[in-house]
């Protein structure tokens, strides 16, 4: 396989992961606007929650992310591809810190570094 043909699934994977993390950010943004719900109460409010613009856009991001992910797993082993999804956790921390004014704590930093280290190990030696 050439480097270019291997980069395409990687770029598609990154797009999928970015869209997934963006969907999570939009869900949080929408729920900050909508308000708190409970597990039992959410079912009665689901229509109005989904019609919240940020929530609707978040679901759209997840839909496109899922379709792109199908491309990735059609080319790579799941055990190689799926750990890349952990990049979404790092992105969620960045979204929360930069856009939602959430606190960046030492555990979040250490956890993010460990995630990135684990993904690097898989990238260097994980695919046969």
The angle formed by the CA atoms of residues 28, 31 and 34, to the nearest 5 degrees, is 160
Please report the pLDDT score of residue 11 as a whole number: 93
Could you read off the pLDDT of 45-92 as tens digits, one per residue?
999 999 999 999 999 999 999 999 999 999 998 888 888 999 999 999
2 pLDDT higher than 70: no
Tokens of 118: 């684990």
Give the residue, 118 or 23, on which the prediction is more confident: 23
56 with 38: CB under 8 angstroms? no
Q: Residue 124: pLDDT above 90?
A: no
Instruction: Work out the percent of the chain whose per-residue pLDDT is above 70.
Output: 92
Give the gyration radius of the chain's Cα atoms: 17
Task: Look at the pTM and tell me if it is higher than 0.75.
Answer: yes
The DSSP 8-state label assigned to residue 1 in this structure reads -
pLDDT band at 122 (very low <50, low <70, confident <90, very high): confident
Task: Write out pLDDT tens, residues 14-32.
Answer: 999 999 999 999 999 999 9
Assess whether pLDDT exceeds 90 at residue 3: no
pLDDT band at 6 (very low <50, low <70, confident <90, very high): low
DSSP 60-105: HHHHHHHHHHHHHHHHS-HHHHGGGGGHHHHHHHHHHHHHS-----
Q: Where are the domains of the chain?
A: 3-125
């Amino acid at each position: 396989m050439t480097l270019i043909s291997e980069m395409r699934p990687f770029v598609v994977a990154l797009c999928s992961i970015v869209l997934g993390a963006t969907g999570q950010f939009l869900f949080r943004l929408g729920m900050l606007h909508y308000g708190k719900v409970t597990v039992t109460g959410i079912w009665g409010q689901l229509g109005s929650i989904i019609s919240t613009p940020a929530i609707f856009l978040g679901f759209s991001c997840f839909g496109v992310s899922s379709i792109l992910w199908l491309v990735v797993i059609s080319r790579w082993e799941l055990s190689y591809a799926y750990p890349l999804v952990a990049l979404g956790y790092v992105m969620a921390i960045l979204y929360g810190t930069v856009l939602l004014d959430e606190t960046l704590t030492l555990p979040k930093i250490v956890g993010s570094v460990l995630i990135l280290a684990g993904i690097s190990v898989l990238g260097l030696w994980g695919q046969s």
